[in-house]
Chain A
Amino acid sequence: MEHLIHLSNPIILRKSLEAVIQLAEQYKKEKGRIPVLMEVCGSHTMAFAKTGIKTRLKDHVRLIAGPGCPVCVTDQKSIDTMIELSRDTNRILCTFGDMVRVPGSKFSLMEAKTEGKDIRVVYSPLDSIKIAEENPEKEVIFLGIGFETTIPILVATIQEAEKKGLTNYTIWMTTKLVEPILRTLLNGKEINIDGFLLPGHVSVVTGKNSFDFLVKEYGISGVITGFEPVELLRAIYKLLQQLLSGKIEIINDYKYMVKNDGNIVAKKLMEKYLDYHDEAWRGIGVIQNSGFILKPEYAIFDAKKKFHVSVEEPRKTKCRCGEIIQGVITPEECILFSRGCTPLFPIGPCMVSTEGTCAAHYQYMKEG
């Protein structure tokens, strides 16, 4: 695919970068400060860091890493519960590679594995179905985390388990939704974000229209974009153009992947199997209807219904990730930063992700 190969053409990259900086300078001249943009998606954050775009733009555009890393926002209690689940030797826990590293209130799934717990990393949730078929005498539990891109895949896995009539397969769902967290951020007292770079792959499922509420209810613009350097720069350019013109709208700059209504098949499947559910976000707290749970009729596939484990309520902390994500305070203003909260022992999501705002500040501080 020639057009996809061209995305890394160095001449286009260089020109794109120049064009973005030029617009950002114009913004600075007109508004007296540099623009503040939030990339909602954790993979965008990673891409900005990896390509060096973030460093290159740091004097021209302030990029705030949003709440869109599903493992980072999984709260300590959920992880503690998952670890507790693994204590029974008759169980095999399966999950994504990202998940096993994230610490709960005491330790991570990886550390639980060293104690001999059967915890397996899979690439596709469908692989966990195979594990359930091969181990009929064991209970196989998939730790289902993810945003809207991943949720349909979890549901498809349940559908497969249903088709195969598996009775030893369940999912422990702790999923997160984009709209409720964006609303929570925007409802905050002070909010300091000029526009959003919207998650391309979530939009593949939810569709462009799912972000209309940003324009209608909050009067804020956003650009849906992909993950290649050119796509990222193009999106910043278009968002800055928007901010300068004063026009407020959602631009779908990822049309080749994202439709207005998203993926109808995936949405229908989610509707069939799932109900809304209040989810706890690490460092932010419980947000109403910010996740999904299996409908009561699918209780036999719901690990939360099948297994009863209870863990202690983790200690309340003074974590201020919520405000950091809102762009209201800098990490240094949080009392825990670099004292009670470090990359090795992170409290909030901004320190869990290596590219999270706090982890990045911590690294910078150590180097500087």
Chain B
Amino acid sequence: MCIGVPAKVIKIKAEKALVDVMGSKMFVGIVFVPEVQLNDFVLLHAGQAMTIVDEKFAKESMEEWRNIMNGTSDTFI
């Protein structure tokens, strides 16, 4: 439905933020994430930040998955 990519906020300027995706940068709108702060990761779609990535949840879900996977076989990851 829609391409979205996590981007790191490296500068905030009024209603725009400069974000970085692996070294490529772009100014994007932040009207939908008024609480955004420097160094947050946001989900970028068509020039707007659509949400702030919750890093805690991201880590947790990866951890959870890793545990499930470790339970399914003998090789650990």
Q: Is A168 an interface residue (CB 8 A)?
A: no
Q: Describe B's contact surface by its main secondary structure.
A: mixed
Q: Is A104 an interface residue (CB 8 A)?
A: no
Are B43 and A3 neighbours in the complex by a CB distance under 8 Å? no
For B6, B29, B62, B75, the residue with the greatest tally of chain A CB atoms inside 10 Å of its CB is: B62
Q: Describe A's contact surface by its main secondary structure.
A: helix
Are B32 and A125 neighbours in the complex by a CB distance under 8 Å? no
Q: Is B18 an interface residue (CB 8 A)?
A: no
A residues 1-54 in Cβ contact with B at 8 Å: 1-4, 6-7, 9, 11-12, 15-16, 18-19, 22, 40-44
Q: How far is the CB of A332 from chain B (nearest CB, A)?
A: 27
- Please indicate the chain B residues that have their CB under 8 angstroms from the CB of A364 in the complex: none
**Contact of A12 with B32 at beta-carbon distance under 8 Å, contacts A150-B2, A150-B46 already known:** no
Q: Is A260 an interface residue (CB 8 A)?
A: no
Which listed segment binds B: A186-194, A251-259, A321-329? A251-259
Which residue on chain A has the smallest CB distance to residue B34? A265
Number of interface residues of A (CB under 8 A): 57
**Contact of A69 with B61 at beta-carbon distance under 8 Å, contacts A18-B72, A124-B46, A124-B47 already known:** no
The CA of A110 and the CA of B8, in the complex, are separated in Å by 34
Which of the residues A12, A69, A96, A156 comes within 8 Å of B77, measured between beta carbons? A12
Are B2 and A256 neighbours in the complex by a CB distance under 8 Å? no
Q: Is A266 an interface residue (CB 8 A)?
A: yes
Are A256 and B58 neighbours in the complex by a CB distance under 8 Å? yes
Q: Is A127 an interface residue (CB 8 A)?
A: yes
Are B77 and A257 neighbours in the complex by a CB distance under 8 Å? no
Which residue on chain A has the smallest CB distance to residue B71? A19
- Please indicate the chain A residues that have their CB under 8 angstroms from the CB of B31 in the complex: 156, 159, 265, 269
The CA of A227 and the CA of B66, in the complex, are separated in Å by 18
The CA of A255 and the CA of B68, in the complex, are separated in Å by 18
B residues 30-71 in Cβ contact with A at 8 Å: 31-34, 41, 43, 45-48, 50-51, 53-62, 65-66, 68-69
Which of the residues A6, A15, A68, A263 comes within 8 Å of B50, measured between beta carbons? A263
Closest 4 CB pairs of A and B: A124-B47, A149-B2, A256-B58, A256-B57
* Interface, chain A (partner B; CB < 8 A): 1-4, 6-7, 9, 11-12, 15-16, 18-19, 22, 40-44, 68-70, 96, 123-127, 146-147, 149-150, 152-153, 156, 159, 178, 199-202, 204-205, 227, 230, 234, 237, 253, 255-259, 263, 265-266, 269
